[in-house]
DNA sequence: CCTATAGCCTGACGGC
DNA sequence: TGCCGTCAGGCTATAG
């Protein structure tokens, strides 16, 4: 689930549910998700605090506490947030649960334990330590910067889009969507793209991420022209009605339309 | 420096 | 039915 549009949806979900409430209790059900912090220390630093504001950079979500420190969430492949009141609504793989004084809880659920939870005192320092590239939707990533980034890349364009150290936020699914809508074969070498194609790719990237984030990353709400609702379903290209194929690109499955996406 | 591959985890699914 | 291999919207460490 968790690429830029999904994480943005989680962030807004958090904003509309869990802000400005005192955390009465903290339960860590899987220590493994905690990075660089012990369970004891994590609980101590979260307890009696409140979440005051949120930010996002790429696939990372940040929730700043009322003491100025920031809770950092990464969702791996299977993570999400759930806000609920009754115990029986607790999601099945809740790894960290914060309980508020109003009787509600927010759970960080992460089935495959590939996500990460930590506390940092400076978000920008964290981003630079992780060597994250600019957020894909940040205005700081303008066309010139995007061109510079892609010009440095030698491998498949899909791998370039998914490299968090180059551009933060795009994963396997949205990389496929962006390449589909741009008409580029996922295995095309980034170095083979001409300036016009890179420009088109840039505009498509921004548009796809904006549109899907606005739809809260729910594929049922995506425009009919989008590939995502078809991948692994009917596998029919929404544009030419041809068969969607899969290939491996740097170890991940790429869905693409052989007729609409030619190698360059 | 760069890019490509294995490993980390759990659970769902299809084939035998 | 049960078991097994494969695969899954992530990243990191290591090899080349």
For residue A1, what pLDDT is reported? Answer: 65
Per-residue burial over A20-29, b = 16 or more CB atoms within 10 Å of its CB, e = otherwise:
ebebeebebb
For chain B, which bases have at least one atom within 7 A of a protein Cβ? 2-11
pTM listed for this prediction:
0.96
Q: What digits encode the pLDDT tens for the residues A21-30?
A: 999 999 999 9
Q: What digits encode the pLDDT tens for the residues A194-227?
A: 999 999 999 999 999 999 999 999 999 999 999 9
Q: Provide residues 203-262 of A with CB closer than 7 Å to any strand C atom.
A: 217, 219, 246, 251-253
User: SS3 for A3?
Assistant: coil
**DSSP assignment of A43-55:** HHHHTT-BEEEEE
A148 touches strand B (CB under 7 A): no
A54 touches strand C (CB under 7 A): no
Alpha-carbon gap, residue A65 to A202, rounded angstroms? 35
CA of A166: nucleotide with nearest C1': B2
Q: What digits encode the pLDDT tens for the residues A37-78?
A: 999 999 999 999 999 999 999 999 999 999 999 999 999 999
For chain C, which bases have at least one atom within 7 A of a protein Cβ? 7-12
CA of A74: nucleotide with nearest C1': C10
């Amino acid at each position: 689930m968790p690429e830029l549009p999904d994480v943005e949806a989680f962030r807004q979900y958090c904003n509309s549910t869990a802000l400005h409430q005192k955390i009465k209790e903290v339960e860590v059900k899987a220590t493994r998700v905690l990075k660089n912090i012990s369970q004891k220390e994590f609980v101590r630093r979260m307890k009696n605090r409140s979440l005051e504001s949120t930010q996002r950079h790429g696939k990372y979500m940040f929730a700043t506490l009322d003491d100025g420190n920031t809770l950092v969430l990464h969702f791996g492949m299977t993570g999400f947030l759930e806000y609920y009141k009754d115990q029986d609504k607790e999601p099945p793989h809740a790894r960290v649960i914060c309980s508020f004084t109003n009787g509600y809880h927010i759970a960080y659920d992460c089935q495959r334990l590939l996500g990460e939870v930590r506390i940092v005192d400076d978000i920008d320092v964290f981003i630079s330590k992780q060597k994250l590239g600019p957020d894909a939707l940040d205005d700081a990533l303008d066309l010139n910067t995007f061109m510079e980034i892609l010009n440095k890349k030698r491998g498949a364009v899909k791998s370039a889009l998914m490299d968090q150290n180059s551009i933060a936020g795009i994963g396997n699914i949205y990389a496929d969507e962006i390449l589909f809508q741009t008409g580029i074969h996922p295995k095309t070498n980034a170095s083979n793209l001409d300036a016009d194609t890179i420009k088109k790719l840039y505009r498509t990237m921004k548009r796809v991420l904006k549109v899907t984030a606005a739809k809260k990353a729910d594929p049922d709400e995506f425009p009919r022209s989008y590939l995502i609702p078809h991948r692994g379903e009917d596998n029919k290209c929404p544009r030419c009605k041809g068969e969607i194929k899969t290939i491996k690109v740097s170890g991940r499955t790429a869905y693409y339309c052989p007729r609409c996406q030619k190698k360059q």
